[in-house]
């Protein structure tokens, strides 16, 4: 799937290594694009009720971030267990912090 | 140790992970990103708490122009794609194509910064200064901090390009390209939350 443009300086990449093609990155891009457009359209339309719009927005953002991290930050490639654990623990800390700051401390 | 044995053309399959040193750098970079996530988390928390405290200043709904934000979003999203193309070119050991994609990434980053500066100048003209309200302070702190990250990323990638020109694509320079591209993706990921939480939700709330 990826051998169509391999004529690089070396040109002798071992066959057993699959060098990734641009397809999956373009898939990631198109998905991100679609999610972004849905989010903007939901707000620009302005017809939908407020709570539902918030839910759409947060859902689109979360899905888009997962897609970008998986495709572009290579987290779906093997050997990324440690970064995944790290990011998830970071997200847990941030989520707790934001919720605490907003609901318990501020409001 | 083996850095000099790998002349160009004899690079391993994934040159960014070829040495222990490189793998440690990547791990260290992930730890740094964890800290960045927490940093931006605090800024988001402050913004969410203060976003309705507009005082006499304009509200988010009056201020934000969705087309401009959408344009900035498209620019940054595309630049994330071009930086992943650069990493891919690196995996193909194609230095020229890698550098070209990195330069495209930088140009898109500069376009984004230009748009953001224009936006901020516009807001100041409309009476939305840093000290106008709690909303304006937290807005400029959060979005400005992200803008500073973009500016830093532009400088970083430019320096990496310079080093690749000087030293070639080796197991020493490859991790630098890889890590700077990861940083760029992270900036885009943060922007996803900024356009959602700051701009779109600001527009919804009016």
- Sorted by where each begins, the domain ranges of chain B are 15-205
CB contact under 8 A, A73 and B42: no
Q: Which residue has the higher pLDDT, B37 or B152?
A: B152
Please tell me the predicted confidence (pLDDT) of residue A73. Answer: 74
Residues of A in contact with B18 (CB under 8 A): none
Q: How far is B184 from chain A (nearest CA, A)?
A: 10
With an 8 Å Cβ cutoff, is B132 touching chain A? no
Residue A79 has pLDDT above 80, yes or no: no
The percent of residues above 90 in pLDDT, for chain B, comes to: 68
Question: Which tokens go with B106?
Answer: 């930088």
Q: Which of A1-5, A67-71, B61-65, B198-202 has the lowest mean pLDDT?
A: A1-5
Please tell me the predicted confidence (pLDDT) of residue A23. Answer: 78
Phi, psi values for residue A9, rounded to 5°:
-55, -40
Residues of A in contact with B8 (CB under 8 A): 9-10
Q: How far is B9 from chain A (nearest CA, A)?
A: 4
CB contact under 8 A, B204 and A36: no
Which of A38, A44, A83, A27 lies closest to A62, judged by CA?
A38
* Residue B9 pLDDT class (50, 70, 90 cuts): low
Q: Helices B173-193 and A50-71: crossing angle, nearest 10°?
A: 170
Q: Give the count of beta carbons closer than 10 Å to the beta carbon of residue B103.
A: 15
Residues of A in contact with B31 (CB under 8 A): 86
Residue A9 has pLDDT above 50, yes or no: no
Mean pLDDT score, B180-191:
94
Q: Which residue has the higher pLDDT, A93 or A3?
A: A93
Which 3 state secondary structure label does DSSP give B71?
A: helix
Q: Which residue has the higher pLDDT, B137 or A74?
A: B137
Please tell me the predicted confidence (pLDDT) of residue A19. Answer: 57
**Highest mean pLDDT (candidates A25-39, A88-102, B179-193):** B179-193
Please tell me the predicted confidence (pLDDT) of residue A28. Answer: 86
Residue A104 has pLDDT above 90, yes or no: no
What is the third-level CATH fold of B15-205? 1.20.120
Q: How far is A88 from chain B (nearest CA, A)?
A: 9
Phi, psi values for residue B33, rounded to 5°:
-60, -35
| CA-angle at B180, arms to B26 and A21, nearest 5° | 85
CB contact under 8 A, B9 and A9: yes
Quickly list DSSP for chain A: --GGG---SS----TTS----SHHHHHHHHHHHHHHHHHHHHHHH--S-HHHHHHHHHHHHHHHHHHHHHHTS-TTSSS-HHHHHHHHHHHHHHHHHHHIIIIIII-
Question: Which tokens go with A6?
Answer: 């391999």
**Highest mean pLDDT (candidates A43-52, A53-62, A71-80, B102-111):** B102-111
Question: Which tokens go with B52?
Answer: 């309705």
Give the residue extent of every domain in chain A.
20-76, 79-107
Calculate the average pLDDT of chain B: 90
Please tell me the predicted confidence (pLDDT) of residue B205. Answer: 79
Which 3 state secondary structure label does DSSP give B160?
A: helix
Calculate the average pLDDT of chain A: 75
Which 3 state secondary structure label does DSSP give B89?
A: helix
CB contact under 8 A, A39 and B195: yes
* Residue A2 pLDDT class (50, 70, 90 cuts): very low
Going from the C-alpha of A78 to that of each of A73, A81, B27, B40, the distances in angstroms are: 12, 8, 14, 28
Calculate the CA dihedral of residues A23, A25, A31, A33 and round it to 10 degrees: -120
Q: What is the pLDDT of residues B126-148, one digit of tens each?
A: 999 999 999 999 999 999 999 99
CA-to-CA distance for B186 and B40, rounded, in angstroms? 11
Please tell me the predicted confidence (pLDDT) of residue A49. Answer: 82
The dihedral of CA B147, A24, A73, B193: what is its sign?
A: positive
Q: What is the pLDDT of residues A50-61, one digit of tens each?
A: 888 888 888 888
Please tell me the predicted confidence (pLDDT) of residue A68. Answer: 85
Q: What is the pLDDT of residues A13-31, one digit of tens each?
A: 444 455 566 778 888 889 9
Which 3 state secondary structure label does DSSP give B183?
A: helix
Please tell me the predicted confidence (pLDDT) of residue A50. Answer: 81
Which 3 state secondary structure label does DSSP give B142?
A: helix
**Choosing among A17, A43, A46, which should be mutated to test the B contact, i.e. which has the most B CBs within 10 A?**
A43
Burial of B55 (0-12, 13-18, 19+ CB in 10 A): exposed
Residue A37 has pLDDT above 60, yes or no: yes
Please tell me the predicted confidence (pLDDT) of residue B47. Answer: 93
Length reported for chain B: 206
| CA-angle at B113, arms to B159 and B48, nearest 5° | 115
Residue A80 has pLDDT above 80, yes or no: no
Residue B78 has pLDDT above 80, yes or no: yes
Q: Rg for chain B (alpha carbons), in Å?
A: 20
| CA-angle at B87, arms to A23 and A83, nearest 5° | 95
């Amino acid at each position: 799937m990826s051998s169509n443009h391999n004529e690089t300086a070396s040109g002798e990449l071992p066959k057993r290594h699959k060098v990734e093609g641009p397809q999956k990155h373009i898939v990631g891009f198109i998905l991100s694009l679609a999610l972004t457009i849905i989010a903007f359209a939901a707000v620009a339309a302005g017809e939908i009720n407020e709570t539902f719009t918030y839910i759409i927005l947060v859902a689109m953002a979360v899905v888009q971030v997962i897609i970008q991290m998986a495709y572009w930050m290579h987290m779906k490639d093997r050997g990324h267990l440690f970064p995944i654990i790290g990011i998830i623990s970071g997200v847990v800390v941030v989520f707790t912090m934001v919720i605490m700051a907003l609901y318990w401390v501020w409001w | 140790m083996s850095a000099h044995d790998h002349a160009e053309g004899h690079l391993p399959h994934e040159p960014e992970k070829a040495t222990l040193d490189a793998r440690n750098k990547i791990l260290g970079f992930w730890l740094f990103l964890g800290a960045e996530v927490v940093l931006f988390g605090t800024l988001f928390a402050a913004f969410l708490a203060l976003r309705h405290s507009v005082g006499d200043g304009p509200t988010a709904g009056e201020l934000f122009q969705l087309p401009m934000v959408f344009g900035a979003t498209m620019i940054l999203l595309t630049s994330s794609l071009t930086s992943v193309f650069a990493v891919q070119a690196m995996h193909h050991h194609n230095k020229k194509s890698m550098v070209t994609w990195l330069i495209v990434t930088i140009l898109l980053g500069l376009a984004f910064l230009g748009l953001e500066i224009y936006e901020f100048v516009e807001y100041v003209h409309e009476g939305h200064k840093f000290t106008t309200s709690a909303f304006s302070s937290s807005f400029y702190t959060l979005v400005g901090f992200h803008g500073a990250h973009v500016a830093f990323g532009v400088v970083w990638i430019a320096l990496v390009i310079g080093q690749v020109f000087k030293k070639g694509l080796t197991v020493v320079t490859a991790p630098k390209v890889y890590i700077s591209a990861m940083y760029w993706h992270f900036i885009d990921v943060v922007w996803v939350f900024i356009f959602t939480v700051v701009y779109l939700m600001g527009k919804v709330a009016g």
